[in-house]
Chain A
């Protein structure tokens, strides 16, 4: 499937692409991946960075499979930059001398992006450099027209993966801590409270008794103190990057203390009921026993160790005395 296998028999170094150390790496992997290529039009994704003169260009490479197989590469963009996306198609039967490829953004073909690719040692390389600003973020795909092989690069700000889809529950008068974490460190964090469609920035200096914000690099914590029911709702944490902000939201539910009291009272009532029933059953079955066996003396057995101990000792000593005779 879309298992990312290392190694890609990329063509000879083009002026814009990799440094020599990376070529050495690729040569190493080439040997391993040749076998894989025999079985499928393998996808190999290599991320290589190529330092360039101004502007800094990052190269991302991937190789598409034939129709049916969807290859997706997720790339985190923190700053506005130029990025070169490269698609490397291999293993085409018949090996035609050239193929045509074009690029799409968010599903729509980019104008004037179609180009003819000449065969290069049984590979077809389609590449394009994009200037990425905030409005340019999205899904970019390279498509080979002949066999519809494509790779989709998802260009976006870092996304907070471990979101809480269930609301955080707390109580009136209590406090609560909301946390947001990211892999990449943003320039700063901001917290908002959502009122229907609007966002209201939470300002700690304006409300020092209500809110506390902790900024700790990759993570941020918002402490809301002295909760009231009105403070229920959606809270949005926003990680500000150069290019755009990444947001995640958490829902807070503030309950009154009577909420958990209801199931608690129900359970305690059930316990009392069962205990009463069991005791009643025991009392009812008692007279039956005592009436039928009036002769025997019954006693509750509470194991008295002293009684047993002394019994045992007496037994042994009396036996010993008898033996001595």
Chain B
């Protein structure tokens, strides 16, 4: 069984106890980070009328927020590396809360771009990364389960925030709602306070205890300015084979990941389904997603899947792709419901495993830097995906080409991950064997050396006699 590359923590994670409170905190942070930008769209129509702007101008608010959240990843990683998860999450919560409160007094759309988009986006970035990182510090054996539960925050919060936002809007208009939402976002600080830094015993023989570095890592000496940068964020990750595989596979996948969600309701309406039934499809999707995530975590934790979790992830991505390829072929409303259920399952599976496999590849120590670098690179496809899909729909006046394109991209990503991970597991196995052989040699030379010494000493003693 190839080793999971996370054993160089230097301590045994508790895998329980306060860890579950930390999972709850991460649940809240992740929920706000993913669900909040989407739930804001309820106010867009009113704000559009108020400022007399076009729909694309208001849609920029969401895009800027999402872009900043992904691009702020490395900044977040640097801060987490230096200060730990808790202060960063609390700071993030304060930032996004203050941003919303300021936005409620905005007098132009530019104010909204700055407050909600930039500052809010950074605040959410400071929530997302640390929440993911700290799970790796508290869990090892039950980590896939913990990740699955934490990631379930996103659909749960989305289903809750949508009606809450609507209610606030009816009572207080858009300004009052944004003001109150600022207060609600301060709850991220509560989540942050739950993320207690973990206490580890520092023993004197740490050098011997630290197991060999993550296999696949290049042992190049850091030099000059890259070594300075390395103090803040682990740039050597770009030489990590597993990380590169993950990056390429994910970039391919993200091009086709979010667009089908965005276009589910419009596609249904295009097929002749009425508005409420189309909205109901999204609810079905969210409900299945909600349960698929912890379910996937549970499955991934079993002894059959855990060692080969990379294959499980590749399977999830491929399954997603197949879902989209089949979608245009399913007839009628029943077909759409079936698609929504299958898609919800697929989406949940991928999301639950997304960060777990990264932790599995690079180890919990380097995860913080890895996730920062990964999100800033994924920023591109995440932002470009839906508009490109929209372009496809506009050119062909038909949704099925968009679904084919998304399906193909995800299939390509999935197959790439499958093949590359097969080789990666083999190379890891080989390197593990090599390392074991070396250690055996070292140990045996040590022993021989010790035996040599003993023989010398005994000969000397005998000569003295």
Interface, chain A (partner B; CB < 8 A): 166, 168-171, 174-177, 179, 221, 255, 259-261, 263-265, 267-268, 271, 274-275, 278-279, 282, 289, 296-306, 308-309, 311-316, 319, 322-323, 325
Q: How far is the CA of A297 from the CA of B203 in the complex (A)?
A: 8
Q: Across the interface, do A274 and B190 meet the contact criterion of CB distance under 8 Å?
A: yes
B-side interface mostly: helix
> Can you name the residue of chain B whose Cβ is closest to the Cβ of A169?
B173
A311 touches B210 (CB 8 A): yes
Told that A264-B182, A271-B183 touch, could you supply 11 new A-B pairs with CB distance under 8 A? Answer: A169-B170, A260-B177, A264-B183, A265-B183, A274-B190, A298-B202, A300-B84, A311-B206, A312-B213, A315-B207, A315-B212
Check if B442 is an interface residue, CB within 8 A of chain A. Answer: yes
CB-defined contacts of B82 to chain A, threshold 8 Å? 302
Q: Distance (Å) between the CB of B212 and the closest chain A CB?
A: 7
Contact B213 A301 (CB under 8 A): no
Contacts of A282 in B (CB 8 A): 196
Can you sample 11 A-B contacts with CB below 8 Å?
A171-B176, A263-B180, A264-B182, A275-B189, A278-B194, A279-B193, A296-B201, A303-B81, A305-B81, A309-B230, A313-B221
Nearest chain B CB to A22 CB, angstrom units = 27
Q: Check A323–B442 contact: CB distance below 8 A.
A: yes
User: When chains A and B are docked, how far (Å) is the Cα of A240 from the Cα of B212?
Assistant: 83
Taking CB atoms, residues of chain B closer than 8 Å to A302 are: 81-84, 197
**CB <8 Å contact, B180 and A301:** no
Q: How far is the CB of A41 from chain B (nearest CB, A)?
A: 27
Cβ-closest chain B residue relative to A273? B190
* Residues of A close to B12: CB separation below 8 A: none
How many residues of B are counted as interface, with CB atoms below 8 angstroms from the partner's CB atoms? 57
Q: Assess whether B438 is interfacial by the CB under 8 Å rule.
A: yes
Chain B 225-253, CB within 8 Å of chain A: the 1/0 string? 00000111110100000000000000000
| Distance between Cα atoms of A194 and B36 in the complex (Å) | 39
Tell which of A261, A309, A315 touches B222, judged by Cβ atoms closer than 8 Å.
A309
Contact yes or no, A311 B207, CB < 8 A:
yes
In order of increasing CB-CB distance, the 9 nearest A-B pairs are A169-B173, A260-B176, A267-B183, A264-B183, A312-B213, A271-B186, A274-B190, A278-B193, A177-B49
Confirm or deny: B441 has a beta carbon within 8 angstroms of a beta carbon on chain A: yes
Question: What residues on B are CB-neighbors of A305 within 8 Å?
Answer: 81, 230-234, 369
Smallest Cβ-Cβ distance to B169: which chain A residue: A169
Q: How far is the CB of B370 from chain A (nearest CB, A)?
A: 12
Inter-chain CA distance A177–B170, complex, in Å, is 16
**What separation, in Å, do the CA atoms of A221 and B83 have in the docked complex?**
53
Residues of B within 8 A of A168 (CB): 173
Q: Taking the nearest CB of chain B, how far is it from the CB of A231, in angstroms? A: 14
By a CB distance below 8 angstroms, the chain B residues around A303 are 81, 365, 368
A297 to B137: give the CA distance in the assembly, Å: 19
Contacts of A309 in B (CB 8 A): 222, 230, 236
Residues in A whose Cβ lies below 8 Å from that of B196: 282
In the assembled complex, how far is the CB of residue B381 from the closest CB belonging to chain A, in whole angstroms? 28
- Name which of B213, B368, B442 has the most chain A CB atoms within 10 A of its CB: B213
Residues of A within 8 A of B233 (CB): 305
- Min CB distance, B222 to chain A, in Å? 7
| B63 on interface, CB distance cutoff 8 Å | no
Q: Which residue in A265, A306, A314, A325 is a CB contact (below 8 Å) of B207?
A: A314
Q: Tell me if B180 and A260 are in contact (CB < 8 A).
A: yes
List, in ascending order, chain A residues with CB within 8 A of B194's CB: 278
Question: In the complex, A323 Cα to B50 Cα: how many Å?
Answer: 74
Q: Which one of A170, A279, A315, A325 contacts B213 once the chains associate, using CB atoms below 8 Å?
A: A315
Contact across chains for B180 and A297 when beta carbons are under 8 A apart: no
Give the chain A neighbours of B206 by CB distance below 8 A.
311
| Least CB separation from B52: chain A residue | A177
Known: A300-B84, A309-B230, A312-B213. A260 touches B190 (CB 8 A): no
Binding site for A on B (CB under 8 A): 8, 11, 49-50, 52, 81-84, 137, 170-173, 175-177, 179-180, 182-184, 186-187, 189-190, 193-194, 196-202, 206-207, 210, 212-213, 217, 219, 221-222, 230-234, 236, 365, 368-369, 438, 441-442, 445
Interfacial chain B residues near A308, Cβ < 8 Å: 8, 365
A301→B200 contact, CB < 8 A: yes
Bound CA–CA A282/B194 (angstroms): 9
User: How distant is the Cα of A225 from the Cα of B147 in the complex, in angstroms?
Assistant: 51
Q: List residues of chain B with CB within 8 A of the CB of A221.
A: 49
B197→A300 contact, CB < 8 A: yes
Q: Which residues of A contact B183 (CB under 8 A)?
A: 263-265, 267-268, 271
Q: Which of A297, A301, A322 contacts B442 (CB 8 A)?
A: A322
In the bound complex, CA of A117 to CA of B276 (Å) = 45
Q: How far is the CB of B283 from chain A (nearest CB, A)?
A: 22
CB contacts (< 8 Å) of A179 on chain B: these are 49
Check B207 against A174 for contact (C-beta < 8 Å). Answer: no
B446 to chain A, nearest CB (A): 9
CA distance A176 to B47 in the complex (A): 10
Pairwise interchain contact B198-A264, C-beta atoms closer than 8 A: no
Q: Report which residue of A171, A174, A271 has the largest number of chain B beta carbons within 10 angstroms of its beta carbon.
A: A271
Please name the residue on chain A nearest to B49 by beta carbon: A177
> In the complex, are the beta carbons of B172 and A301 less than 8 A apart?
no
Cβ–Cβ < 8 Å partners of B180 in chain A: 260, 263-264, 267
Give Cα A299 to B199, complex, Å. 6
Q: How far is the CB of A118 from chain B (nearest CB, A)?
A: 42
Instruction: Give B190's nearest chain A residue, CB to CB.
Output: A274
With contacts A296-B201, A309-B230 taken as known, whether A267 is within 8 angstroms of B186 at the C-beta atoms is yes
Q: B52 CB to closest chain A CB, in angstroms?
A: 8
Flag if A264 contacts B199 (CB, 8 Å).
no
| Complex contact A271–B187 (CB within 8 A) | yes
* Contact between B190 and A271, CB atoms less than 8 A apart: yes
When distances are taken between beta carbons in the complex, the residues of chain A under 8 Å from B207 are 311, 314-315
Nearest to B51 among chain A residues (CB) is A177
**Which listed residue (A259, A271, A274, A298) contacts B199, Cβ 8 A?**
A298
How many Å lie between the Cα of A235 and that of B150 in the bound state? 48
Bound form: Cα–Cα A259–B176 in Å: 8
Q: How far is the CB of A268 from chain B (nearest CB, A)?
A: 5
Pick the residue among B184, B231, B365 that contacts A306 (CB under 8 A). Answer: B231
Q: How far is the CB of B458 from chain A (nearest CB, A)?
A: 24
Contacts of B49 in A (CB 8 A): 177, 179, 221
Evaluate whether A301 and B197 lie within 8 angstroms (CB atoms) in the complex, with A255-B172, A315-B213 already known. yes
Question: Who on chain B is nearest to A168 by CB?
Answer: B173
Q: Which chain B residue has the least Cβ–Cβ distance from A262?
A: B180
Task: List residues of chain A with CB within 8 A of the CB of B212.
Answer: 315
Q: A255-B176, A275-B189, A316-B213 are in contact. Are A325 and B230 (CB under 8 A)?
A: no
Complex: A319 Cα to B211 Cα, angstroms: 13
**Residues of B contacting A271 with CB < 8 Å?**
183, 186-187, 189-190
